[in-house]
Structure 1
Amino acid sequence: MSDVLSDAALEDHLGRLDGWSVVDGKLHKQLTFPDFNAAFAFMTRLALVAEKMDHHPDWSNSWNTVTLDISSHAAGGITVACVELAAAADRFS
C-alpha cells in the first residue's frame, strides 16, 4: 500500500496536473468531450490503464461529460498512484 501524500507533496503534484482539484479528499476533474462517443472512448482508454495499475477511479458519464474522482480506498487518501492515474487521464483528454 502506498502512503497518503502530505499536503505539500500533494500541492506540488497538483501543480503538474491540468485542471485537477481536491474535493472531499479526492483528486477531482470534470471533462467535456465533443460527444458521447468521445467521452466513452476516453473512459475505455483510461479503464485499460487503471486495470493495469490496479487503481480504479470513481467516475460517472453523462452524455459528453466525464467526472473523475481518484483516491486510494486502501490508503485512505491521495497517493502517488492517484496522481499517476490523473496524469494518464490528462494524456488521454
Structure 2
Amino acid sequence: MLLTQTGKIDPLKGNNCPSWRKNIDMMLTLSDLDYALQTDRPTEPPVGVAHYEQKMMQYSMEKRKWKISNNKCLKIIRHLIDDSI
C-alpha cells in the first residue's frame, strides 16, 4: 500500500512544495511512519539517576523505534524529491 501511495505523489520540484509536503505528511501519518517527525530523538538517561536500568531499557526501546521511523521517512522523502533539486 505504501508503494502505491508514493507513486501517486508528484516529486518535489520546487514550485509544488506546499502540496508535496501536505501529501507526504498525510501518507507518513496514515502509514504510522511519522513517529520520528512528531517526536524528538530520545536522550540517554544520566548515569546514577534513580531507576537507571529501567530508564535505560525504555530509552533503548524508544531509540530503536525512533531510528527505524526516521530511516524510513528519510528514504521516502529522498525518493520523492526530483533529481534536479
Q: TM-score range by the shorter chain?
A: 0.3 to 0.5
Which structure shows the bigger proportion of residues in strand conformation?
1
Considering only CA atoms, is the larger Rg found in Structure 1 or Structure 2? 2
Report which structure shows greater RCO (CA 8 Å, sep ≥6).
Answer: 2
TM-score scaled by structure 2?
0.39
